[in-house]
Amino acid sequence: MAILDAFADVGRFRALRRDIHAHPELGFEEHRTSDLVAGMLAEWGIEVHRGIAGTGVVGVLRGRRPNNGRTIGLRADMDALPLQEVNQFAHRSTQAGKMHACGHDGHTTMLLAAAWHLAQRPDFAGTVHFIFQPAEEMGKAGARKMIDEGLFERFPCEAVFGLHNFNVGSVGSFALNPGALMASSNTYRITVRGRGTHASMPHTGLDPVGAVLEIAQALRSLVARTIPSTERALLAVTQIQGSDAPNVIPDEAWVGGTVRTFSVEAIDKIEARLRRLAEHIAQANECTAEVMFRRASPPVVNHPAEAAFAAAVMREIVGDAMVEDALPGVMAAEDFAHMLMARPGCYAFLGNGDGDHRLDGHGPGPCILHNTSFDFNDDIIPVGASYFVRLAERWLAR
């Protein structure tokens, strides 16, 4: 591996990552983390801008060479999840019901490490924007809020890049593709309204529960009847609610779940058919249906030229064998999608391993994202930081 010499001793940034892990904050509440990030950037002489999407931070670093007008954006997310950590090692969460179970503590640390290195050696032309984003989790769309508040107008980026740890490949390996890397995230709820009555006299009411059950059954085959078999999409029924009592037919009932696709066109088709299906089945049961369809995040679609550029930098860092540049898209979602809709760029995965890195006292669960036994692998901090540094240097030198 061609890890930069400055990151050979990972001790300083390992301690930083574990400090962030021990103090998790939920979306738009990342006050301590934001303070920490801003303070370190300022200490290193990087221009700091705060308050973008509330707790978002952007660091601006201009190279010492004559300005060539080139710009690049490097992004990390800062928020944690509303989970109770079961790990018992020293850097476990100190906040009840909050946990860095997705590795954002590591993402923030890798980008800070890259900012530190570039600030010590700004031997480049152009400008690097270090984007520390709040509220990626739970559909809060912190990326969208930063963009709406003028992120790319205030901090122009020719292209924007991000990384996410993932249990793909070996530790420190990269994976990406030149197209749809991650799925869209959408939720739906169909509420059917009828006329409640006693369960012993169903003929006196209009049963919304029966209609909801018919809708749920029809939803299970909706994707197959809507999306060509050559494409990938998913619709899951995960929630059904009727009466609170076993002998009552309620006035209303509902069914809900999630939809994942790799294109906006597929979302459009599925939503349209879901609405028609709900309306017609409800009508056949002499009920009415109200549909809530929320598009939390579009698919993460990499731009081919930027993906190829990123893959070349990855190979420079870890070698050909450690880079998978044709990874099939995964059904997980990420709101970096909004940034890729606003600017060219590339998102990629960095192998976190299978959990062998975890300290004694870790929980009994697997070391996978959104698991209460998860912990970020500090050994990949130098890999991700070196990638961000070389990415900025190579991009600005083009």
C-alpha dihedral (238, 241, 246, 251), degrees to nearest 10: -150
Q: Which of 239, 272, 296 is the last residue of a domain?
A: 296
Looking at the structure, tell me whether residues 50 and 174 fall in a common domain.
yes
Query: Which of 219, 220, 244, 140 lies closest to 185 in space, CA to CA?
Result: 140
Say if strands 323-324 and 288-297 run parallel, antiparallel, or are unpaired.
unpaired
213, 263 in Cβ contact below 8 A?
no
Looking at the structure, tell me whether residues 165 and 24 fall in a common domain.
yes
Looking at the structure, tell me whether residues 356 and 253 fall in a common domain.
no
Instruction: Collect the ranges in the chain with pLDDT lower than 50.
Output: none
Looking at the structure, tell me whether residues 307 and 177 fall in a common domain.
yes
255, 291 in Cβ contact below 8 A?
no
Looking at the structure, tell me whether residues 106 and 238 fall in a common domain.
no
pLDDT digits (tens, 9 = 90+) for 236-252: 999 999 999 999 999 99
Number of compact structural domains in the chain: 2
Looking at the structure, tell me whether residues 289 and 361 fall in a common domain.
no
Looking at the structure, tell me whether residues 41 and 85 fall in a common domain.
yes
Reported pTM:
0.94
Q: Which of 279, 296, 313 is the last residue of a domain?
A: 296
Q: What is the residue range of 192's domain?
A: 185-296
CA pair distance 63, 128, nearest whole angstrom: 8
The pLDDT value given to residue 267: 97
The pLDDT value given to residue 8: 77
Q: Which of 268, 296, 324 is the last residue of a domain?
A: 296
Hey, what are 119's tokens? 């600030």
The pLDDT value given to residue 3: 81
SS3 per-residue string spanning the chain: CCCCHHHCCCHHHHHHHHHHHHCCCCCCCCHHHHHHHHHHHHHCCCEEEEEECCCEEEEEEECCCCCCCCEEEEEEECCCECCCCCCCCCCCCCCCCCECCCCHHHHHHHHHHHHHHHHHCCCCCCEEEEEEECCCHHHCCHHHHHHHCCHHHHCCCCCEEEEEEECCCCCCCEECCCCEEECCEEEEEEEEECECEECCCHHHCECHHHHHHHHHHHHCCCCCCCCCCCCCEEEEEEEEECCCCCCEECCEEEEEEEEEECCHHHHHHHHHHHHHHHHHHHHHCCCEEEEEEEEEECCEECCHHHHHHHHHHHHHHHCHHHEECCCCCECCCCCHHHHHHHCCEEEEEEECCCCCCCCCCCCCCCCCCCCCCCCCCHHHHHHHHHHHHHHHHHHHCC
Q: In terms of C-beta density within 10 A (0-12 exposed, 13-18 middle, 19 or more buried), how is residue 275 classed? A: middle
pLDDT digits (tens, 9 = 90+) for 295-334: 999 999 999 999 999 999 999 999 999 999 999 999 999 9
369, 102 in Cβ contact below 8 A?
yes
Looking at the structure, tell me whether residues 39 and 122 fall in a common domain.
yes
Looking at the structure, tell me whether residues 103 and 14 fall in a common domain.
yes
The CATH number for 48's domain is 3.40.630.10
Looking at the structure, tell me whether residues 27 and 167 fall in a common domain.
yes
CA pair distance 171, 394, nearest whole angstrom: 24
The CATH number for 202's domain is 3.30.70.360
**Range 126-160 burial, b when 16+ CB lie within 10 A, else e:** bbbbbbbbbbbbebbbbbbbbbeeebbeebebbbb
163, 348 in Cβ contact below 8 A?
yes
Looking at the structure, tell me whether residues 157 and 221 fall in a common domain.
no
Looking at the structure, tell me whether residues 265 and 339 fall in a common domain.
no
What lies within 8 Å, CB to CB, of 187 at 6+ separation is 139, 256, 257, 258, 259, 293, 294, 296
